[in-house]
Structure formats: structure tokens, C-alpha cells
Amino acid sequence: MRNHRRRGLTALATIASLATVSVLATACGSDDDKDSESDGKVHITVEGWRPGDEQGTIDAVNKQAAAFMKDNPDIIVEPIEWEWNAETFSTQLAGDQLPTTFRVPFTDTKGLAERQQIADVTDYVNELPYAEDFNPSVLAAAQGTDGKIYGLPTDVYGVGLHYSRALFEKAGLDPDQPPTTWDEVREDAQAIAEKTGQAGYVQMTSNNTGGWMLTTLTYALGGRMESEDGATASIDNDATREGLELLHDMKWDDQSMGKNTNFEWGTINEAFAAGKIGMYMSGSDVYNALVTTNQIDPDDYGLAALPLSDSADAGILGGGSVAAVSAKASPEEQEAAVKWNDFYRERKNYDPDAAVADAKVLAESDQPIGTPTLPIFDQETWQAVEDAKAEYVNVPQDQMTSFTEGVFSQTLIPEPASHTQEVYGILDSIVQKVLTDEGADIDALLADGNEQVQALLG
Amino acid sequence: MTAYLARVRGSAATIAFLLPMLLVFGLFSWWPIVRSVVMSMQQTNLVTPAEFVGPDNFRAVLADPLLSTAVQNTIWFAVLALVIGYPVPLMLAVVMSDVRRARGLYSLLAYLPVVIPPAVAVLLWRFFYDAEETGVFNTILGWFGLGPVPWLEDPSWAMPSLVIEATWAAAGGTVIIYLAALVSVPPELYDAAEVDGAGILRKVWHVTVPHLRGVMLITLILQVIGTAQVFLEPYLFTDGGPDNATLTVLLLVYDYAFANTTGGDYGKATALSLMLAATLALLSVAYFRLTRRWSE
């Protein structure tokens, strides 16, 4: 009897063990087979919308995907929710959790290419009708140090000064006369803080955005963070010093920067859309996110050209994204991904008909059309595209004229060439120190920062 | 022979029973540990083949000027947590065990924060910690003519702010442990102490604390280990800022591995993790050696 029971238990335990093993094996098994669907079509997942985006955004992408699949019956496109996040990228790639194609910032493309984390798609890009027509300095952002092409450059922006027309009015300022010098920025910020109790001017400080914006301020005042070849650090320069002193005085003397200082791209947008910020610097295309993610009231929004100093070297920081392809994608998937990026992201910047088709889909889903971007090809092409989709424009472009009229006379300066994100990380600390410690020694901070960046650059 | 067979069959059954647990434990606990030991001596981005670099990662970590900042901050967090966070659950438990009515309600209230998902709790507290005069805590302080306090915005205030939230979030669990231990204290000891003229403080000191000594030792070492691995609060509240004032060792590990995609340095991250694990293991052994006598 006892033996029987024991044998029964042993059998039970064995079954339980086997069940566990098989469950584990299934859980740990790869899902490689998802790519080799038996329908003979190429399946790709693509970056569709950001977390928190409204339904209209999702609908618009899905419509575009359906249109694309109609033209390309051998490709199945599945748009998914995704947002570029430097912190999770590598592990998503290693764990097969990335979409087949996604956008990465200009600053990260070269490093990702060097580490073979994104695919070389030179051959597929060269097949596109406009391959020869890219603005070379824009295409350079999508090229690795080996000269190969790792994606299509998109969303090219220049940094602008975004301001709240509502707070300007409340403070007795003319919302049609945004500041054109940094002295005026300071005066207006002070007026907003005094009359409305909200922060007059705020700048991003964390997750490398503090460095991004300090670099922007430095460029606007005529300085640089690195030599052009990225070999020498120049953090310790007069323009950065002037910028930090300006921030220090606005924060501590004028008290026009509010009490909260911990902001990054998403949180500063949120606070601005909620009417808590008078002015801040960000990419010229941020209005799209302010609408689709933060539901800003369009009447409250204004965009001005970034004030530049008299220095001949002064300019605005320009950046953008590269629609790249996962290094783990098969050649067929890579080809399909470039086709999709051509259809969804690039052709509309080149071909006026494609721009109109794109605008129609966006208009149906009530998505913003006409947010300022900068040319990916030449200015003539850009203008033709802008003219073609003019009738669909639904963003308040007359509240952005200061930017759109001023930007083409401003020099566009690319981000630091070498170790960009790490340099931004070091600069984050400097900005944070100045904004949280009234007695911060700016000279010492810059000397120390310069040393750290030089150590990085080698 | 039969006895031998029975023994073999018996141990086979034992192993069969043990196997699922061993597999799960091995796959999800031991295998990652082995992998991280290997990875600490490699340079890898998880895509291209890893390169063996020997002790280079350990050298690089030890030479990083941020390491000493992170260690100091972690110790500061542990000290603050000890001063603020350690006595609070004990006091709560003692007071609650004395309450006659609605004890269940108090237990529920004390334990509630533990049930709230940590990330949600932090987001909530970030809202409370708004540095403007209109922030929740600053409004309350304002009623008493105090503040406003730059909770997370000032390098010297940031860490205490994190500890206050962490204490709120974790105290409930420890309170429950203390409450359970307090049941084992014979009530007649309190009666005897009362007859001897002891007040509440003397009763706590002479009756409660000696009975809770063993539990207190365990919660203390658990707290030290927990605080040495503090990550969630500095990551979600301040991302290590302002100016690295809340950069802890574990956040530094995270930054090595993830903060820069293009420089994702898993080797350095695992090297620092191993050093932290070794330090904590040594600390635990030393602690138990030192206090063995006292706890007997």
C-alpha cells in the first residue's frame, strides 16, 4: 500500500517536473518563427505612436499602414506603440522586443551603427528616387563613420522658443511680439513671474536634456561644446559661462524660473501645456506632441525664433531623427522596412503629391498639419511641399511666424560630434547645480566639466 | 536489497519533487548570477560577440569619481533611513498593540501603502513634493507659517525627502512583523511592571524591547541590505539629481548599463553589482558575528 502511494507520488512529481520544464522551455524559447509565416509575405512591425497618444494618432497610422499594404501586397505592416528610449534600447534589441523599424535621434545613429545595433540599409536607400537629392549635411546624420547609410533622415528641426500666449497676455505683454534678444527673454520672464505667479522661463535639466539645452543656449550665444571633429572639449567657453550666468540670475535674482527645476522633454511639455510655463526652448516640431499627447489649447501657443547673440558664430541647434532598421531584421525585412519608411515618413517631404495624400489622412483623424520643420532636401523642394499641403494646414501658423520667418536666416549647427549623449549627461549636472545652488561656482563647474568631457573624447 | 531499492525510490521521489523548484530557482536566480560573474569580465553590447577583458571593468569602476559620490549617498540614505525609518514602525506597532478598539482598521491603514504599486506611490508623492507654494506639503506647511521647502529641488533636501517617502511606503510591512511578535509577549509581564510602578516608556524599554530583540535584529539587517540597494526612489523622483545628490550605488549600476545606449556598459554594471553583493554579504556575516551573543 505504502509502496503504491509512493509510486503514485513519484509519478505525480515527475509529471509536475516535466510540465514545469516544458512551460519553462516555452517561456524561454525564442519567437523566431513569427517571421517565417507560411503566407509567404514579409511581416514587419513598425513604430506607430507614442504611449499616451490620442486615438486619432493611432487611427491615422493604421490608415497609412492599410494604404501601404494595398500598394505592397507582399508586405504585412503592423504599427505598434513605441517611443525611443535610450535606456531600454539595447535590451529591447537583445530581447527581440524592438519593432523592425523605429526612429532614433541624430545624436545616437553613429554610435548605434558602430556597435552594429542598427542595420546597414545603403543598398535599399540608394534605390529610392530621391537618393541623390538629400541635403548632404542632413544625410550625414544617417551615415555611420564608415560612410554607409543606416536609415532615412526625418523630422529635421531647429530649436525654437515656445511661449504661452495666454501667460503673455496675462502679464500685459504683447503675444505677437515675442522676445528677440536674451535680455528681452529675461525681462518678459520676470514680468510673467510677477504678474501671473507662474514660471516665466524654464529649461530642461535631466535625462541628458539639460545638456542638450545648455548646448543650444551656448550655440545661441556663439560658443561650441566640442571642436568640429569631436576631438577636443570646449565646455569651458565664454558663451556657456554667459548662458549659465543668465540662468543663475533669472533663477536666483529675478526668481522668474519657478521653484521646480527637474524637467525633461516630456515633463516640460506637460507643464507648458498646463499653463505653468511662460517660455522654454525645444525642437520646432514639439507642437505635434503638445497637441497629440498633452492636449494643449492651440490659441495659447506661440513659437518664436531663438534669440541669437551678435557673435558671428551664433546659431541654432538643429537635430532630427533617423528612421533606422533593427540589426536583427532579415534582408527581406530590411527592404520592406525601408519601403515603409519611404512611404510613411520620407516621400511626403519630397513629392508634393505624397505630401497631399499624407495631409488628407492626417486631416481625417484631426492630426496637426503644418508644424514647422526644416528641409531634408533643398529649400526649393521643401517650399514646394509646404505649398502643396497649404490648404490642409490646421496648426496656428500665424502664431509661429516669428520662427518661420526667422529660421532660414539663422545658421543651423549640428549637435556635438562625439559622445553626444554622455557629454549631455555631464552638462546635466552643471545646469542642475546652477539652478539648485545659489552659490554655485560656475568657473569651477566649467573647468571640471571640460576635464571630464576631454577624458571621454580621449 | 529491498531496503536499498526503497531508499533509491525514496530519494528519486525527493529529487522529483525538488526538481521544479531547483529548475525555476536555477534558471531565474543562479543562472543570472553566474552570467553576471562572466559578464563582469567581458565587454558586450548583447548583439556582437562579447570580448573578454579580465579585471578591466572592476578597475574602471573603482577609478570612476562618481563611485565615491554614489557610496556616500547610499550610506547617507541608509543613515537617514535608520534614524527616520527604523524607529517609526516599532513605535507604530507598540502604540497599535495598545489600542483596544478598531485595531484591524489601524493595521489596514498602516499596511495600505505597501499595497500601492511603488511607481504609482512615487508619482503621487512627486505631486505632493511640488516645490511651489501651491504644492500639497508646502500648502500644509504654509498653514503653520512654515516653508516653502524645496523638497526635491535642493541637493540637501532631496535625500531626506526620498527617505520620508520610502519610510511611508515600507513601514507597513515591518509593523505587521512587530505586531505579530508583540503577541508573544506575556501580558502578565506588563501587569507586573505596572504593579512595580513602571510608566509606558519603562514598560516598552524593559518588557517590549527585550522580547522583540530577535525580530529587531532581523529587521535591522534587512533594512541595511534594503537601503544599500535603494534604486526606485532616486530613479523615479530625481534621476540621481540634483547634481548627483541622490545618485546611489544601484542607480550608478543602472546608469552604467542603460543610461547611454551607445555606451551601454553591461560589464561595468555587473562588476559594480558584484562588488555591492560582496560588500553586503561581508556586512551581514560581520553583523551576525557581532550580535550573536546579544541575540542569544
pLDDT category at B260 given cuts 50, 70, 90 is low
Report the gap between the CA of B44 and the closest CA in chain A (Å). Answer: 10
Which residues, in sequence order, are CB contacts of A301 under 8 Å at separation 6+?
Answer: A162, A164, A165, A287, A290, A396, A399
Instruction: Indicate if A158-318+399-457 has the same CATH topology as A42-157+320-392.
Output: yes
A-chain residues near B264 (CB < 8 A): 90
Query: Cβ of B23 and A9 within 8 Å?
Result: no
B-chain residues near A429 (CB < 8 A): 241, 243-244
Residues B71-87, mean pLDDT to the nearest whole number: 91
Q: Domain extents for chain B?
A: 1-39, 53-295
Question: What DSSP designation does B229 have?
Answer: T
**Portion of chain B with pLDDT greater than 70, in percent:** 95
Residues B163-172, mean pLDDT to the nearest whole number: 91
Residues A371-375, mean pLDDT to the nearest whole number: 88
Give the Cα separation of B20 and B7 in Å (integer): 21
Q: What is the pTM of this model?
A: 0.82
Give the Cα separation of B38 and B33 in Å (integer): 9
- Name the CATH superfamily housing domain A158-318+399-457: Periplasmic binding protein-like II (3.40.190.10)
Q: Is the pLDDT of residue B84 over 50?
A: yes
A380 interfaces chain B, CB cutoff of 8 Å: no
Q: Which residues pair with A305 in a beta bridge?
A: A160
Of A26-40, A237-251, B61-75, give the lowest mean pLDDT range: A26-40
A447 interfaces chain B, CB cutoff of 8 Å: no
Q: What is the pLDDT of residue A15?
A: 54
Strands B42-43 and A277-283: unpaired
Q: Domain extents for chain A?
A: 42-157+320-392, 158-318+399-457
Cα Rg of chain B (Å, integer): 24
Q: Is the pLDDT of residue B79 over 80?
A: yes
C-beta neighbour count of A51 within 10 angstroms: 10
To the nearest 10°, report the CA torsion of A126, A130, A133, A135: -80
How many alpha carbons lie under 13 Å from residue A251 in its C-beta half-sphere? Answer: 22
How many alpha carbons lie under 13 Å from residue A266 in its C-beta half-sphere? Answer: 9
- Which uninterrupted H or E stretch holds A231? none
**Tens-place pLDDT, residues B198-247:** 888 888 888 888 888 888 888 888 888 888 889 999 999 998 889 899 99
Q: Is the pLDDT of residue A296 over 90?
A: yes
- Which uninterrupted H or E stretch holds A279? strand A277-283
**Tens-place pLDDT, residues A121-142:** 999 999 999 999 998 888 988 9
A112 interfaces chain B, CB cutoff of 8 Å: yes
Say whether domain B53-295 belongs to CATH 3.90.1010.10.
Answer: no
Q: What is the pLDDT of residue B263?
A: 55
Q: What is the pLDDT of residue B1?
A: 59
* Nearest residue in B to A276, CA atom: B132
Q: What is the pLDDT of residue A34?
A: 46
pLDDT category at A30 given cuts 50, 70, 90 is very low
Query: Cβ of A421 and B263 within 8 Å?
Result: yes
C-beta neighbour count of A287 within 10 angstroms: 25
Q: At what angle do helices B209-228 and B266-295 cross, to 10 degrees?
A: 170
* Architecture of the domain delimited by A42-157+320-392: 3-Layer(aba) Sandwich (3.40)
Query: Cβ of A6 and B27 within 8 Å?
Result: no
Map grid coordinates 530590411 to a residue.
A334
3-class state of residue A303 by DSSP: strand
Report the gap between the CA of B268 and the closest CA in chain A (Å). Answer: 15
Which residues, in sequence order, are CB contacts of A407 under 8 Å at separation 6+?
Answer: A158, A160, A284, A305, A316, A372, A374
Q: What is the pLDDT of residue A175?
A: 96
Query: In Å, what is the CA distance from B172 to each residue of B87, B88, B120, B177?
Result: 12, 10, 17, 9
DSSP H helical ranges for A308-413: 331-341, 352-364, 379-388, 401-406
